[in-house]
């Protein structure tokens, strides 16, 4: 699990499938906005760098990370996106709120993908403090938004190949 062993932004561009026809819905939490904006920017930039069409990328904000799975469900229900990417940042506080939110988003993200049989990508930072979040949103450990974008492309492509087989 140690992020220090893997930079979140490192990948081999040549190994990433063509995504020029794929459609992505990105849901971004407004909590810890400085961090989530950087994650979302990294995600969009990576999709574009890998060849995604700007018109095929939709971004929607939700109030907090707890609302991310429902935001993703709205995308699947009302648009033809191939994948949703849920982006948020939950920072450990003094209460149990952290545990409840992280657990709910992880469970909701997984269930969303299963329900619609389409990739639902977990782009949630769950950190002990702000510095850890900064380090993973374009800092020394890279950007989790980049990782989420690459995961989305790979999973949409895997679904397509599975259906074509």
Query: Tokens 């940042």, residue?
Result: 89
CA separation for the pair 5, 16 (Å, rounded): 21
Query: Tokens 């469900």, residue?
Result: 73
User: How distant, in Å, are the alpha carbons of 7, 64, 120, 159 from that of 36?
Assistant: 18, 10, 17, 27
Binder of ligand DLZ out of 6, 97, 115, 161 (CB under 6 A): 97
Three-class secondary structure of residue 45 per DSSP:
helix
- Residue 126: HSE in the Cβ half-sphere, 13 Å Cα cutoff: 18
Total of residues contacting ligand DLZ (CB under 6 A): 15
Q: What is the DSSP letter of 157?
A: H
Which parts of 3-22 interact with ligand DLZ (CB under 6 A)?
A: none
Encoding tokens for residue 131?
């510095």
Binder of ligand DLZ out of 17, 31, 159, 160 (CB under 6 A): 31
CA separation for the pair 30, 36 (Å, rounded): 7
Closest to ligand DLZ by CB, 10 or 129: 129
Q: What is the DSSP letter of 90?
A: E
How far apart are CB 132 and ligand DLZ at their closest, in Å? Answer: 12
Closest to ligand DLZ by CB, 65 or 143: 65
Binder of ligand DLZ out of 9, 46, 50, 65 (CB under 6 A): 65
Which range touches ligand DLZ (CB under 6 A), out of 24-32, 37-45, 49-57, 152-160? 24-32
Which parts of 35-64 interact with ligand DLZ (CB under 6 A)?
A: 63-64
Instruction: Identify whether 141 is a catalytic site residue.
Output: no
- Does residue number 137 form part of the binding site for ligand DLZ (CB under 6 A)? no
Positions that interact with ligand DLZ (CB under 6 A):
29, 31-32, 63-67, 88-91, 93, 97, 101
Q: What are the catalytic residues?
A: 97
């Amino acid at each position: 699990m140690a992020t220090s062993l893997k930079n979140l932004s490192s990948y081999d561009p040549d190994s990433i499938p063509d995504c020029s026809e794929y459609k992505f819905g990105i849901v971004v939490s407004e909590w810890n906005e400085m961090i989530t904006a950087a994650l979302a920017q990294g995600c969009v930039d990576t999709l574009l760098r890998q060849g995604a069409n700007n018109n095929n990328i939709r971004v929607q904000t939700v109030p907090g990370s707890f609302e991310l799975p429902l935001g993703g469900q709205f995308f699947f229900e009302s648009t033809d996106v191939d994948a949703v990417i849920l982006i948020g940042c939950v920072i450990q506080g003094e209460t149990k709120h952290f545990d409840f939110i992280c657990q709910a988003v992880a469970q909701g993200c997984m269930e969303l993908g299963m329900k619609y049989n389409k990739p639902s990508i977990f782009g949630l930072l769950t950190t002990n403090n702000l510095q850890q979040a900064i380090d993973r949103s374009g800092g020394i450990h890279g950007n989790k938004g980049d990782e989420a974008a690459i995961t989305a492309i790979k999973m949409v492509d895997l679904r397509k190949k599975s259906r074509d087989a």
